């Protein structure tokens, strides 16, 4: 963070600054999703020495100035001034931090970005990391983290940037639409990690789809087994519908039934007459040959 003061108030050194509000105090505000704090102000006292003739005077002056900050947010550098208090970001990347990630971070419910990459952190990912419902960017790459990825990460529905690469994470990546949407490079460098979008884990007989509640995907051989069943089922249903569609109507409607039977009788008479005529013709042909 950089602090600037107008040149009109004179010069001062760090040792003269009093009532300095430390930036990290803002972390307490992140626990409130609807915090009304929209700016961060720094109070200061400074001394002014001046001479009038042979007399030397020293006065103190109080004041308040706003800070500003340049932040790279999702690959774009942006400057925050008056709205700095609305910025809920922790970026401690490229330091020499060691030990485990404090579990208290999970209580910062308003946090939208957490970057602890390129440190020497160990231990596992916070189990309750899913409590950070507003989190959009999460980077723990290039550390010494181990263990499995917390199942609660599947609750980070707004997560759009993720990087867990180059750690010692292991186990199966939790199934969720969000976690499977990231590129495999986000999980690279973790030899013990498996599951979509990485290689299948041992024991997974068939891949699971995160979008259909874990339903098994039907293979081509399964489809071949189902084809005869669907064919006979469809044929049977079609026959029953057609049969009862015709004969059911005849049973219900008397006039249709009478017309149907008259039609059947006429058709029967026509068939008998046709067969009789053909028989006579055939006999005549045989007699002519004799």
In-domain check, residue 27:
yes
In-domain check, residue 205:
no
Range of the domain at 264: 220-289
Enumerate long-range contacts of 158-164, CB under 8 Å, 24 or more apart: 158/133, 158/134, 159/135, 160/74, 160/136, 161/74, 161/136, 161/137, 162/137, 162/138, 162/186, 163/117, 163/138, 163/139, 164/125, 164/140, 164/190
Q: How far is CA 284 from the centre of its chain?
A: 87
H or E, element range at 281: helix 254-289
Whether residues 183 and 226 fall in one domain? no
Whether residues 57 and 113 fall in one domain? no
Q: Is the peptide bond before 65 cis (omega within 30 degrees of 0)?
A: no
Stated pTM of the model: 0.49
Q: Domain tally for the chain?
A: 3
Alpha-carbon span 258 to 184, nearest angstrom? 74
The closest of 205, 145, 194, 144 to 171, measured between CA atoms, is: 194
Domain endpoint, select from 139, 159, 194 = 194
The predicted pLDDT at position 96 comes to 87
Whether residues 182 and 237 fall in one domain? no
54-105 pLDDT per residue, tens: 666 566 655 554 556 666 666 666 666 655 556 678 888 888 888 999 988 8
The predicted pLDDT at position 49 comes to 58
The list of the chain residues with pLDDT below 70 reads 1-87, 205-228, 249-251, 290
Whether residues 121 and 188 fall in one domain? yes
Whether residues 156 and 246 fall in one domain? no
Whether residues 178 and 106 fall in one domain? yes
In-domain check, residue 11:
yes
In-domain check, residue 1:
no
**CATH at residue 152:** 3.80.10.10
Alpha-carbon span 90 to 113, nearest angstrom? 6
Whether residues 185 and 248 fall in one domain? no
Whether residues 101 and 184 fall in one domain? yes
Whether residues 225 and 266 fall in one domain? yes
Contact 209, 217 (CB under 8 A): yes
Contact 116, 143 (CB under 8 A): yes
The predicted pLDDT at position 203 comes to 74
In-domain check, residue 279:
yes
Whether residues 122 and 186 fall in one domain? yes
Task: Read off φ and ψ for residue 201, nearest 5 degrees.
Answer: -80, 155
Alpha-carbon span 78 to 233, nearest angstrom? 64
In-domain check, residue 164:
yes
Give 29: exposed, middle or buried? Use CB within 10 Å, 0-12, 13-18, 19+: middle
In-domain check, residue 86:
no
Alpha-carbon span 176 to 137, nearest angstrom? 17
The predicted pLDDT at position 11 comes to 34
The predicted pLDDT at position 31 comes to 47
The predicted pLDDT at position 68 comes to 61
Which pair of structure tokens corresponds to residue 244? 């009862």
The predicted pLDDT at position 176 comes to 80
The predicted pLDDT at position 128 comes to 92
In-domain check, residue 78:
no
Q: What is the distance between the terminal CA atoms of the chain, rounded to a whole angstrom?
A: 123
The predicted pLDDT at position 20 comes to 34
Whether residues 106 and 179 fall in one domain? yes
């Amino acid at each position: 963070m950089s602090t600037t003061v107008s040149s009109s108030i004179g010069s001062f050194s760090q040792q003269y600054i009093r009532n300095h509000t430390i930036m990290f105090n803002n972390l307490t505000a992140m626990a409130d999703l609807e915090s009304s704090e929209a700016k961060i102000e720094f109070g200061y006292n400074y001394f002014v020495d001046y001479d009038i003739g042979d007399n030397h005077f020293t006065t103190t002056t109080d004041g308040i100035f706003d800070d500003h900050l340049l932040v790279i947010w999702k690959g774009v550098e942006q400057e925050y001034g008056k709205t700095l208090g609305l910025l809920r970001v922790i970026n401690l990347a490229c330091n020499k931090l060691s030990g485990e990630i404090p579990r208290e971070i999970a209580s910062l419910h308003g946090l939208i970005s957490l970057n602890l990459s390129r440190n020497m952190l160990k231990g596992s990912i916070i189990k309750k990391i899913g409590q950070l419902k507003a989190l959009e960017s999460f980077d723990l790459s290039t550390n010494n983290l181990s263990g499995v990825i917390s199942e609660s990460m599947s609750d980070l529905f707004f997560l759009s940037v993720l990087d867990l690469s180059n750690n010692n994470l292991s186990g199966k990546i939790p199934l969720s639409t969000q976690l499977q949407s990231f590129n495999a490079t986000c999980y690279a460098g973790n030899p013990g990690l498996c599951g979509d979008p990485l290689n299948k884990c041992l024991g997974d007989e068939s891949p699971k789809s995160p979008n259909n509640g874990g339903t098994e995907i039907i293979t081509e051989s399964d489809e071949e087994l189902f084809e005869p069943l669907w064919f006979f089922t469809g044929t049977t249903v079609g026959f029953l519908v057609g049969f009862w569609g015709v004969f059911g109507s005849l049973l219900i409607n008397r006039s249709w039934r009478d017309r149907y039977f008259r039609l059947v009788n006429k058709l029967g008479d026509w068939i008998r007459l046709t067969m009789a005529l053909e028989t006579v013709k055939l006999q005549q042909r045989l007699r002519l040959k004799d």
